[in-house]
Amino acid sequence: MDIVKMTDRQHDCIAEAPPSCECVCPLGINVRDFIKKFQSGLISAAYKIYKKFSIFPGIACHLCKEPCKDACVRASIDSSVSLIDLEKYCWQENRSKTQDKFFIPVKNKKVLIVGGGLTGSACAVKLAQRGYDVELIEKSHRLGGRLCFIDNDILPEKVLEDEMNMLFTLKHLRVILNTCVEDLDDYDFDAALIATGEDGNVFGAHKNREDYYLKDGVFFTGSLANPGQDYMYSIRQGSEVSYLLEDYIKINKIGAIPQLHPESLYNPDIRRIVPVEKAKPSDPENWTMDEIKAEASRCLVCTCESCKDSCEMLTYFNKSGKRLMIDVSDTLNQVILTKKTAVLPSMSCTMCGACKNVCPVDIDLKELCIETRRVLHKQGSLPDAHYDFWLNDMEHSNGQEAELFIPAGNQEAKYIYFPGCQMGASDPKYVEKSYEWLYDSFKGDTALMLHCCGAPAYWAAREDMFTENISEIKQRWIENKKPIFILSCPTCMEMFQNNLPEIEVISLWKIMADNFITRPKTGKTVSVFDPCTSRNDKKTQDNIRTLVNKAGYEITELDKHGEDAVCCGYGGLIYSTNPSLTEAIAHNNKSLGEPEYITYCTNCRDSFSLIKKPSRHILDLLFFNGNRSLRETPGLSERRRNRSKLKEDLLELKMNQNFKLNAKPYDAVTLFLTDSIKENLDKKLILEENIKEVIYHAEKTEEKSYCTEGEEKIYTAYQRQGNVTFWVRYKEVDGGYKILSAYTHRIRIEGV
């Protein structure tokens, strides 16, 4: 789908669509506006809204059958919000107050309304309020039609009388009682409405017609068109038909009464809604202000924010999904010249896909964000420097220092084990032990491929690099006569399934769940942290739980697991763009549950380890003894060394070869770094290699400056590497260089 189609989906978003109560309201009352006024204590403002839709508020609050009760979201949680009591309260409080009057220009157009029932009267009020010269003719001695026969207990006579008497006070409305219209030709009008009721004169109209139009500007509606209809629908029809008459007068258009709102698609997560007991008035007929406000405050003012509720990024930027779509459209079309409001949010998307899972209309903001990155990259307006580190890391995984292919023990490989680039970086033993297990289980039929699946290039919107990476994997697959790939990393699984559908894949966890021997129970309980990329892979989630149980552990599920799985903060390469969001995500995840987490994504495990949340990779349970729960995450430079170490070990073990890293000119530079400096470098995504290169260059060319601190010289040197300039402050010490600090900037120095 192209970006225009993606942003156009803002029109499908139901965020501003009417809530379920409004969808079933025969009067179509704007419930959100009404309730917001109530909750703010603005009762007369709430009454104005109610009156605008009901026209006869006293009648409406006595005769409404409350279909909103069943539609209310609270109905299935505690009890529906009693809108009828709110309506009655604001009517009681304001019924005798003089309403504001506004100057309305006179239209000088005549409207004839035959029949003073609910529909005719409602239409008359609406048109007179808009400045039309309205003549309402009623054959009986009073207005109200069917209402005049309602029991006084249901609709008090006084209420009906007061509301109908209001018609006599309207400036542009002339009510004529006790008059029977025999022939419309006897009257002069620009448009007319026949609302003579079920048994009234039809003037040639066919009952149950749908278009409400007779001829020569004459419309008909009310019970005449729909016998026996609900009183509230009669009012709404009167209101709606007033617009039909107006359109006819203004532009000679013959329209139709719009349908009520379609069924609401809003489907909130009711687990997040706190039950609140219904307000109990001391006198049900006379609520106090506090009582009624308490009831109003129970209303959730239902607005679909499912995507925002499920997304840390949208919450961070306080944007709705719809707003994001509008921002993307504005940014790419340069509608707002001063600010590209979608750049930072789209680069802060973790690509977890939770938004689409919860969206009632399947809007995929993850795809929108990745496509936005791609379009911005092509336009040259994506700040690519943010992705330098990750793309270099991918190159490292696929380069001489880490990339490896070990053929199967037998001539032909039935399987290729593809553990991904992060497992070996986190701990080379993870790969070695799982590969050894597979090798033994399949009696040597398994080859091993150490390579990146291309996710960093995909997330960084580098389609060229991603395509090249995919081709390399495919080439290896073809060379080995198309074996099955065994995948362990959920991100790799997603990349393979979406981009290499021709390759048959199987999850390592499926093989292990089927073949692992059950161990004695440990009596310990853990929680499985499902990575976001596993959200729609229930089989893998089940296999992991089987493995955890087989390893002797009980499981307490986290609130967010399975299809509600959340991102650990690594996805989408958001750290370089938005470190504070990454940190917030990790900390929120930390508090999902008390027990130790078991993950099956090394990035998830390492993210938790960084914030000291006890967590283990599933392989820790299966292959390692001792407490690895708080195993420290290797630093960024250490991760690269781990990859090389893995290659070295495997080459020696499986192929009896010595591994020699290609020499780099700066290899001879020896650094002395304290732990706090190392930690600081990791936070800034600076590798020891970056620093060595800067110092090597500075020492070789003398392009550096110094200042003195006491007797010591402190050197400062810098070098542009890719899209980033690295700065290093250091001292010369015996045998090398002591690093004092290092920092970067993306801005390019052009010169003097």
Partner 1 sequence: MSETKHICCKCNEELIPQKITFEYMGITMNHELPCCPSCGVLFISEELASGKIAEVEMQLEEK
By the rule CB under 8 A, 706 interacts with partner 1 = yes
Instruction: Report the C-alpha gap between 446 and 409 in whole angstroms.
Output: 7
By the rule CB under 8 A, 623 interacts with partner 1 = no
Q: Which is nearer to partner 1, 641 or 731 (CB)?
A: 731
Query: Which range in 185-193, 283-291, 512-520, 715-723 contacts partner 1 by CB under 8 A?
Result: 715-723
By the rule CB under 8 A, 524 interacts with partner 1 = no
Q: Which residues contact 98 (CB under 8 A, 6 or more apart)?
A: none
By the rule CB under 8 A, 283 interacts with partner 1 = no
By the rule CB under 8 A, 674 interacts with partner 1 = no
By the rule CB under 8 A, 716 interacts with partner 1 = yes
Q: Which is nearer to partner 1, 257 or 343 (CB)?
A: 343
Contacts with partner 1 in 355-414 (CB under 8 A)?
A: 380-381, 383
By the rule CB under 8 A, 700 interacts with partner 1 = no
Query: Which range in 198-206, 390-398, 664-672, 744-752 contacts partner 1 by CB under 8 A?
Result: 744-752
Query: CA-CA distances (angstroms) from residue 346 to 321, 565, 587, 623, 693?
Result: 11, 21, 22, 39, 33
Among 297, 499, 549, 744, binds partner 1 (CB under 8 A): 744
By the rule CB under 8 A, 715 interacts with partner 1 = yes
By the rule CB under 8 A, 626 interacts with partner 1 = no
Q: Which is nearer to partner 1, 556 or 701 (CB)?
A: 701
| Strand-by-strand arrangement of the 213-215 sheet | 173-176, 133-137, 110-114, 191-194, 218-220, 213-215
Contacts with partner 1 in 102-131 (CB under 8 A)?
A: none
Closest CA to 512 of 549, 539, 547, 486: 547
Instruction: Report the C-alpha gap between 77 and 568 in whole angstroms.
Output: 31
At residue 124, the 3 state secondary structure works out as helix
CB of 385 closer than 8 Å to CB of 17: no
By the rule CB under 8 A, 750 interacts with partner 1 = yes
Among 412, 436, 463, 703, binds partner 1 (CB under 8 A): 703
Q: Which residues contact 391 (CB under 8 A, 6 or more apart)?
A: 456, 457, 460, 462, 465
By the rule CB under 8 A, 747 interacts with partner 1 = yes
By the rule CB under 8 A, 741 interacts with partner 1 = yes
Q: Least distance (Å) from partner 1 to the CB of residue 337?
A: 9
Q: Least distance (Å) from partner 1 to the CB of residue 446?
A: 45
By the rule CB under 8 A, 749 interacts with partner 1 = yes
Q: Which is nearer to partner 1, 132 or 387 (CB)?
A: 387
Query: Which range in 151-159, 449-457, 652-660, 699-707 contacts partner 1 by CB under 8 A?
Result: 699-707
Cα dihedral value 658, 664, 668, 671, nearest 10: -100
By the rule CB under 8 A, 702 interacts with partner 1 = yes
Q: Is the dihedral of CA 43, 44, 45, 48 positive or negative?
A: positive
By the rule CB under 8 A, 330 interacts with partner 1 = no
By the rule CB under 8 A, 250 interacts with partner 1 = no
Closest CA to 347 of 320, 319, 313, 388: 313
Q: Least distance (Å) from partner 1 to the CB of residue 332?
A: 13
Query: Which range in 306-314, 400-408, 561-569, 695-703 contacts partner 1 by CB under 8 A?
Result: 695-703
Instruction: Report the C-alpha gap between 287 and 746 in whole angstroms.
Output: 64
Closest CA to 436 of 417, 451, 450: 417
Q: Which residues contact 459 (CB under 8 A, 6 or more apart)?
A: 351, 370, 373, 387, 390, 571, 572, 573
By the rule CB under 8 A, 752 interacts with partner 1 = yes
**Phi, psi for 564 (deg, rounded to 5):** -100, 15
Cα dihedral value 446, 451, 453, 459, nearest 10: 160
Burial of 666 (0-12, 13-18, 19+ CB in 10 A): middle
Q: Which is nearer to partner 1, 84 or 344 (CB)?
A: 344
Given its phi and psi angles, is residue 443 left (phi above 0), alpha (psi -120 to 50 degrees) or beta? left
By the rule CB under 8 A, 315 interacts with partner 1 = no
Q: Which is nearer to partner 1, 88 or 374 (CB)?
A: 374
CB of 607 closer than 8 Å to CB of 586: yes
Q: Which is nearer to partner 1, 303 or 723 (CB)?
A: 723
Among 219, 718, 730, 737, binds partner 1 (CB under 8 A): 718
Taking residues 71 to 100 in sequence order and writing x for each that binds partner 1 by CB under 8 A, - otherwise, the string is ------------------------------
Among 431, 701, 722, 735, binds partner 1 (CB under 8 A): 701
By the rule CB under 8 A, 146 interacts with partner 1 = no
Instruction: Report the C-alpha gap between 179 and 72 in whole angstroms.
Output: 45
Q: Which is nearer to partner 1, 169 or 708 (CB)?
A: 708
By the rule CB under 8 A, 727 interacts with partner 1 = yes
At residue 483, the 3 state secondary structure works out as coil
Among 171, 339, 612, 720, binds partner 1 (CB under 8 A): 339
Query: Which range in 14-22, 60-68, 351-359, 736-744 contacts partner 1 by CB under 8 A?
Result: 736-744
Q: Least distance (Å) from partner 1 to the CB of residue 557?
A: 40
Q: Least distance (Å) from partner 1 to the CB of residue 739?
A: 12
Among 108, 338, 580, 662, binds partner 1 (CB under 8 A): 338
By the rule CB under 8 A, 751 interacts with partner 1 = yes
Among 264, 310, 320, 341, binds partner 1 (CB under 8 A): 341
Q: Least distance (Å) from partner 1 to the CB of residue 617?
A: 34
317: number of Cβ within 10 Å? 20
By the rule CB under 8 A, 705 interacts with partner 1 = yes
Instruction: Report the C-alpha gap between 430 and 599 in whole angstroms.
Output: 13
Q: Which is nearer to partner 1, 517 or 749 (CB)?
A: 749
Q: Which is nearer to partner 1, 205 or 742 (CB)?
A: 742
Q: Least distance (Å) from partner 1 to the CB of residue 472?
A: 32
Q: Which is nearer to partner 1, 381 or 467 (CB)?
A: 381
Q: Is the dihedral of CA 733, 735, 738, 739 positive or negative?
A: positive
Closest CA to 705 of 728, 688, 685, 683: 728
> Site for partner 1 (CB under 8 A): how many residues?
33
The rounded Cα 330 to chain-centroid distance in angstroms is: 19
Q: Least distance (Å) from partner 1 to the CB of residue 718?
A: 7
CB of 723 closer than 8 Å to CB of 384: yes
By the rule CB under 8 A, 344 interacts with partner 1 = yes
Among 51, 340, 510, 647, binds partner 1 (CB under 8 A): 340
Among 474, 704, 731, 738, binds partner 1 (CB under 8 A): 704
Question: Could you say which DSSP state residue 338 is in?
Answer: S
At residue 712, the 3 state secondary structure works out as strand
DSSP H helices in 611-742: 618-623, 636-655, 675-683, 688-701
Q: Which is nearer to partner 1, 114 or 717 (CB)?
A: 717
CB of 191 closer than 8 Å to CB of 211: no
By the rule CB under 8 A, 220 interacts with partner 1 = no
Q: Which is nearer to partner 1, 154 or 747 (CB)?
A: 747
Q: Cα(first)–Cα(last) distance of the chain, in Å? A: 47
Closest CA to 417 of 202, 619, 186: 619
Which residues of this protein are in contact with partner 1, per CB under 8 A?
A: 338-341, 343-344, 380-381, 383, 701-708, 715-716, 718, 727, 729, 741, 743-752
